[in-house]
Structures are given as C-alpha cells and as structure tokens.
Amino acid sequence: MKCKILHESKNRIRVHFYRNYMTCEEADKLECYLLSLSYVEEVKVNERTSDATIRYDDGRRDELISDLSHFDLKCTEVTVFESTGRQMTHDYQDRLFYHVARRAISRWLFPLPIRKVIAVFKALPYIKEGLNSLLRGKLSVSVLDAASILVSIIRRDFDTAGSVMFLLGVGDIMDEWTRKKSVNDLARAMALNVDRVWTLSDSGEEVLEDINKVDVGDTIIVRTGSMIPLDGEVIEGDASVNQASITGEGLPVHKTVSGYVYAGTVVEDGELKISVRRTVGTGQYDRIAKMIEESEKLKSETEEKAFRMADRLVPYTFGATLLTYLLTGDVNRATSILMVDFCCALKLSMPIAVLSAMREAGQKHISVKGGKFLEAVANADTIVLDKTGTITYACPTFKDIVTFDGADKDESLRLAACLEEHYPHSMANAVVKAAAERKLIHEEKHTKVEYVVAHGIASTIDGEKVVIGSYHFVFEDEGCVIDEAEMDKFNNLSDEYSHLYMAIAGRVKAAIMIEDPVKKEASEVIQELKSLGLKVVMLTGDSSRVARRVAGELGVDDYKDQVLPEDKALYIEKEQAAGRKCIMTGDGVNDSPALSKADVGIAINSGAAIAREVADIMISEDDLKALVTLRRLSTALVARTKGNYVKIVSFNSFLILMGALGLFQPTLTALLHNGSTIAISMKSMTNLLD
C-alpha cells in the first residue's frame, strides 16, 4: 500500500497513506494487520487523516517498511477484532459536533421568534419525562429539569431554557459515550487470550493447532481448567462448564453430547470434544458487552451513593425554591434556585470518574471488570500472593532430571512431557519445553489424562498407571514408593529447586528439578505495597524449604506453605472474619477458590482460564508493579470522588444562596451550574496518575 513517512524517531514511525479518507472498517483492518506483526508493539490509526503511528522492536525498521508496502486493503486477509470501538467513537464525535453546531446556528442565524418556537418544541420531551415521573409518584431529577425549563419558557426567558437544554444534551452525550466506550474496552479486555487449541485430526491424533486455522466443522478438545475458545456442539464427553462470563449463571452447567458450548466459558471438570460452529472472532463480543451492560459490577458504591443522593436532594431544591418565593415574592430569585440542582453533577461526574479510572487502568495493562473493584482495592488491608507464576516467573525452567529404579533420563523426560503438554501450567510448560529442546519426540500412547487440581496428573500407558506431580500427590495420595537402596540419592535432591515426581505402577521413576526464579521486581513491589498500608502474605503449595527461602528473600509479613486450594480460600475467610478486606492474586486453577472468595481477585493474564474467569481484575505477567499502580490508582480514584462530592455540594449550595439573595439572575445561575458540571466532569476524565 502506497504511503510516505511523516515523522520518525527511535522505534517509532508515523506514516501517511495515499487515501483521501479511510472508512472505519479499513482503519480497523490496517490496525489489526500491523498488530499481527510480531515485532509491532503499538499502533494508532487515524481514519480521518489516513495516518498511522507505529511503535516497533529495535532493529526492525526495514522489515516494517517492507510489510507496509506489501499490505493491500482489498487483497490482504486479516482477522479483524470483533469490535474495536472506532465506529462508535466516530459516531459520538459526530453527534457532539452536530449538537454544538445546531446550537451555534440557532443562536447566530435564526431570529428570536423562530428560536422561541425551537425552544418550545425541544422542551416537550423534557416536560413529558418530568410528568411521567410525577405520575409514577417519583420526584426525580427529570422533574427538576422539566420544571426549570418550563418556568423559563413561562417567563419568556427562551435563551435560558435553550441553554439549559443544550447543556443537558451535552451531558447526556458525554455520559452515554463514556459508558459505552468503557463497556467496549472491558469487553475487549475480557476477550479470549487463546492462541492455540488441541484439535482432532482425520487420523484421530491430537494436534496443537493455531486457533486462526480452525474452521467450522473441525473438532477441538478442551479439558479441565481450560477455556473453550470457540462456539460449538459437544460430540463426545461429559463436563461441568462455568458459563458466568456469557450467561451470568452462578453455578457450573453440565454439558454432554449435543449440548452447545460458548467461547469464553471454562471447563471446571471433565473433558469435551467439540464440533466448531463459530470460528475465532465471531459472536463473542456482543454477548460479553451485553453481559457487562446488564451487570451491577460496573457500578461502584460511590456511583450508587451519588445516584441515591441526587434523587434525595430534589425535594430540598423544590423546597428552597418555594420558600424563597413565599418569603420574597420574587419570581427571579425562586427561578434562580430552580436552575440549580446537585443531581446533574453527581450523576455525571461520579460515573465518569470511575469509568475513566478503569480506562486509565487499561492503558497500564490492567483490566478491571467493574468500578466497585477499584474501590475495594483502595479499602483493602491485606494482599495475598500466590508464589508460582505470581511472585516467581510464570515460565519456570527445567534444570535436571534424576531417575530411579533404572529408568532412562531421556525416556522419563519424554513421557513426562507427553503427559504434561495437555494442561496449561507453568511447571508443565517447563517440562514440555525441555523435551522439545532435546528433540525428544513422543507419540500419544497414553489413555485419557486426568488432572487433579493442585496435585498433578494421572494416566495409563500399556495398562500401568502413571502419575506425575507434587510430593503430597505422588507419595501420600497415590502411595508410591522408592527403592530403599536409592533413598540416599532421593534425600540428597537439591533444595534449591522445586520438584516434580513421576511414578509408574506405584514406583517412583524420576524427580524433575524445576528452577522457579523470583521476579526481579518482586522484592521492591512487596516493600512498596507494605508502604501503601497493605499486609503482604504469600501462600504456596510448594515445600517448606522453598517457601521459607522465598519469603525470607522478599520480606513478606507472613507466609503459608504446602497449602491446598481450599486452604487458600480458608485463609481469606479467616482474614475477612477478623474484619480485614482481602486482595488475592494468583494465576492457577488452584487459586480460583481464593480468587472468588476475596474482596478483590486479581489474576495474571497468562494464567489458567478459570483463574481469569473468576478474577475481578487482570494484570500482565510481565509487570508485577501493576499491583502498586493499581493500589495508587484506586486510592487516587477514591480521593477524586470524595473531592468531587465536596466541590459539587459546596458550589451548588453557594449558587442557591446567591440566587436566594437575588445576587445572581436565573440565566447566570443556570450557566454557572451547568458550566461547573461540565468542568468537574471534564476534570474527572483526566488521568489520576502521572
């Protein structure tokens, strides 16, 4: 595609495409194409100017120029995101522009008699809404709006009536735009994070396939703890599926043959073979967006309080208006008070502040599913951190394998990888990667793999049971044994590493050494969290020696080792029973009970699907500092909403007083009231953090 470079700096380039105008669809296609390039980090496409700003990896400039030149809007096939929000933003910008333009044209071009007719015509919907509210027995904000407009028209003050309606219109557009943009951003943040999926080939072999290559009619396999990546019909299997993200159902739903399953839902227990009915990128966004719009999660306690307070203050405004008229007999003074209400500012600025904070969190790669969770983070006393994949890197590395009972190292590693590749876990990934690096190719000879949450996995090969997992699972639950002659070798296994044990037919064959390095920023993050008033606790299913070493290295306030999923949830319950509000942070299937029990559950976005499903907030695996950012952002949001409340009540009370004293005319009070509402709302849209 023909373009020219407008500006260039280190790893950043801005180009102009030779088109007079891009449609939103074309701009979306270009943006998705550029984001699909592995070396491109960030893209912004402006459809109105046909410009694109691109940030890319160091040393890849020539490759980017080449890819840009080969891109064709008509011929290049690109998977476009289901809803980018570009068209929505475009539409609301146009609505706001035309709303302001109509007001300007009316004021400057139309003579007074025509402006009067226009004002009366525009006032009818407001008056109708106010009357409907009264007929329902509610003295709401709509009644106050209708009264102020009607009184202005009766007094033949059409300019004031027009100004009030104009500002109300601006507020409505901004409120609707901000809310819908937030829903759109959240829906995209909650979209699937699945790149590859297990498919069943024509020969019956399981193949790990790129999700974009899966077509309608293909068969995919989804097991315990994994997300269903595509809509489809169950053709084999039996499972409990958590559908809360799509249908809102609180309890898992039983799925078997002929049942329909949705993309974005999670298999909590069982295994399904699914015939695909919808390919990637179709159908999911609208369902998620609808779910968010209908969910009370989007409303924070501050928003609810503001809405209730706004409605409760309406009678007092009417009372002050009537009292002023009875005491002074001055219609101007009474009307001045009627032009002022607390409702507009409270109902507009508070939600905008919360939604803008959620947007800002998104810019920092923090996905928040609802405003109330930001408030909960600000009010929390304790933060509980899982160790593996949260405090430590989500990609542990294989260090060594020690074999027993005459087992071969390569064969043992090959078998371990064959079993572990079926379940997304950081330690399992380390084993699979180690086998691949050593070119240990394996065939699928085992039977169905059973995943035991927080313990390990089990299967059968050639009629013999094979288990791989933790010490507790292999030795205590499964009762596996090790030859007495090899106990010295077993007891001398290095304490520096985490261990996975593999046993066949009840006899331990291998111990796999996994290095679980602590994230370089973890110590600094924990100290900052403590300085921000949080008690920091580490929970892990790992051994006492490993947990003690990590806890000492990081300086946490408390830690628990060898905990099961139910133990993590129980710890949260005990903290809550003691009157403390808890944040839980984790990434695995075993963390999901605690994530759902906590006041706020924070999942690592590369973790298990069920953990992301039940969590309220998601952060990047590469940025543990996001926890500090989240705490500061939440605290700043609470401070802003409290500040907004004080400003709104104080300034509008001042306007009412000035109106009652006759110092401000109705037009001035309406202008100052609506102007302050817009000003506070605009300020609420700005970033909370530097």
Interval 517-567: pLDDT, tens? 888 889 999 999 999 999 999 988 777 777 888 888 899 999 998 887 788
Q: Cα separation of 404 and 511, whole Å? A: 8
DSSP string, 352-395: HHHHHHHHHHHHTTEEES-HHHHHHHHH-SEEEEEIIIIIB-SS
Q: Cα separation of 382 and 534, whole Å? A: 5
Please classify residue 57 by burial: count the beta carbons closer than 10 Å to its beta carbon, then call 0-12 exposed, 13-18 middle and 19+ buried. Answer: middle
* CA nearest to 328, candidates 666, 661, 658: 661
Integer distance in angstroms from the first to the last C-alpha of the chain? Answer: 38
Give mean pLDDT, residues 67-82.
77
Query: How many other CB atoms are there within 10 angstroms of residue 9's CB atom?
Result: 8
pLDDT in tens, 612-637: 777 888 887 667 899 999 999 999 99
What pLDDT does residue 265 have?
79
* CA nearest to 376, candidates 633, 184, 603: 633
Cα 169 to chain center, whole Å? 30
* CA nearest to 229, candidates 255, 252, 209, 247: 209
Residue with tokens 């605690």: 594
For residues 575 and 568, the answer to whether their CB atoms sit within 8 Å is no
Is the per-residue pLDDT at 413 higher than 50? yes
* CA nearest to 54, candidates 77, 24, 73, 31: 31
Query: How many other CB atoms are there within 10 angstroms of residue 559's CB atom?
Result: 20
What pLDDT does residue 193 have?
52
pLDDT in tens, 362-375: 778 888 877 788 88
Q: What's the angle, vertex CA 115, arms to CA 109 and CA 120, rounded to 5? A: 155
286 — pLDDT class (breaks 50, 70, 90): low
Using only C-alpha atoms, what is the Rg of the chain?
Answer: 31
Any idea which architecture 196-279 has in CATH? Distorted Sandwich (2.70)
Is the per-residue pLDDT at 1 higher than 80? no
What pLDDT does residue 608 have?
65
Give me the count of residues in the chain. 690
pLDDT in tens, 307-346: 677 677 777 778 888 888 788 877 778 777 776 767 667 7
What pLDDT does residue 648 have?
85
pLDDT in tens, 289-310: 555 555 445 556 666 676 677 6
DSSP string, 529-594: HHHTT-EEEEE-SS-HHHHHHHHHHHT-SEEE-S--HHHHHHHHHHHHHTT--EEEEE-SGGGHHH
* CA nearest to 134, candidates 343, 346, 304, 314: 314
Give mean pLDDT, residues 440-462.
71
Q: How many Cα neighbours within 13 Å face the side chain of 14? A: 8
79 — pLDDT class (breaks 50, 70, 90): low
**Token pair in block for residue 420:** 């572990």
Higher per-residue confidence, 634 vs 19:
634
What pLDDT does residue 296 have?
44
Q: Cα separation of 618 and 601, whole Å? A: 8
pLDDT in tens, 83-113: 667 888 888 888 888 988 988 888 888 888 8
Q: Where in the sequence of the chain do the CATH 3.40.50.1000 domains occur?
A: 366-393+518-622
For residues 222 and 274, the answer to whether their CB atoms sit within 8 Å is yes
What pLDDT does residue 201 have?
83
Lowest pLDDT segment from 33-47, 119-133, 197-211: 197-211
pLDDT in tens, 174-196: 767 766 776 666 556 555 555 67
Q: What predicted TM-score, i.e. pTM, was given to this entire model? A: 0.64
Give mean pLDDT, residues 474-486.
89
DSSP 183: H
The CATH code for residues 366-393+518-622 is 3.40.50.1000
Please classify residue 412 by burial: count the beta carbons closer than 10 Å to its beta carbon, then call 0-12 exposed, 13-18 middle and 19+ buried. Answer: buried
Residue with tokens 């306690």: 301
Give mean pLDDT, residues 6-35.
87
Q: Where in the sequence of the chain do the CATH 3.40.1110.10 domains occur?
A: 397-515
What CATH superfamily classification does 397-515 receive?
A: Calcium-transporting ATPase, cytoplasmic domain N (3.40.1110.10)
Is the per-residue pLDDT at 281 higher than 60? no
Give mean pLDDT, residues 229-250.
77
* CA nearest to 430, candidates 398, 467, 454: 398
Q: Cα separation of 397 and 105, whole Å? A: 68
Cα 125 to chain center, whole Å? 37
Lowest pLDDT segment from 91-100, 134-143, 233-242, 340-349: 340-349
The CATH code for residues 3-80 is 3.30.70
503 — pLDDT class (breaks 50, 70, 90): very high
Query: Residue 599 phi/psi, 5° resolution?
Result: -65, -35
432 — pLDDT class (breaks 50, 70, 90): confident
Q: Where in the sequence of the chain do the CATH 2.70.150.10 domains occur?
A: 196-279
